[in-house]
Amino acid sequence: YKKAIELTPEFNWFYYGMLGDALCRQSKYTEAISQFQKARELAPESASWAYGRLRDYNYTEAIANYRKAIELDPESAWFYHGMLGNALSRQGKYAEAIASYQKAIELDSDLVWVYVGLGNAFSQQRNYAEAIANYQQAIELDPESAWIYYWWLGDVLILQGKYAEAITNYQQAIELEPTDEFAREGLQEPIELQENPTEIEIELIE
């Protein structure tokens, strides 16, 4: 991610968020918070999902706070439902997360970061059709960042065994952001899977 920040400065907000996520998985929370804050400073609107991660790592407290905020500030309930979805999803409570995300969408149907959250939650439930539908909605609403969503679409299509479609989506990501090394690396997987499907099926089962 640090290399990507050097190569594609116009998308630094995204990579700072991803770097923060990786640091959280290593329990380096102080460093992670710093990266999330950088993401939010660079792109307050596009990096909403990163802000969600910043607030969600104390999951139990976050969930209680968001539910209380929904009661106290109904005009901003769309935001708190979305953030609640993030926190629930990070706890692995995907069904509850999906319900919360959907409430946010009912209140404001233009929330790109909520569609992304829905896509991720449905993907974790292996409901790939719904995951794809939500990533596609994110593409429609946020074409400037569409390369990211094409990349995630490619990941889901691989899990469905739709390697040709996955290749197409990775290629679209690369076309929109030619310097993105992650999409280029992702593209190699469905190409290899088409050549050796049995080998990858074994890996997926394991």
Which phi and psi angles does 196 have, rounded to 5°? -135, 65
Q: How many other C-beta atoms are found inside a 10 Å radius of the C-beta of residue 206?
A: 5
CA distances, 130 to each of 84, 86, 119, 199 (Å): 20, 17, 7, 27
Q: Which pLDDT value is given to residue 29? A: 57
Q: What's the confidence (pLDDT) of residue 39? A: 73
**Residue range 142-206 in CATH 1.25.40.10:** yes
Can you give the pLDDT at residue 202? 43
Distance CA 8, CA 53 (A): 22
The CATH label, of 1.20.1740.10, 1.20.120.1200, 1.25.40.10, 3.40.50.300, for the domain at 58-127 is 1.25.40.10
Tokens read off for 19? 């770097």
Stretch(es) of the chain classified as CATH 1.25.40.10: 58-127, 142-206
- Provide the pLDDT for residue 134: 96
| Residue 205 confidence (pLDDT) | 45
Structure tokens at 29: 């929370």
User: Which residue stretches of the chain have pLDDT < 70?
Assistant: 1-15, 21, 24-30, 32-33, 36, 40, 43-58, 197-206
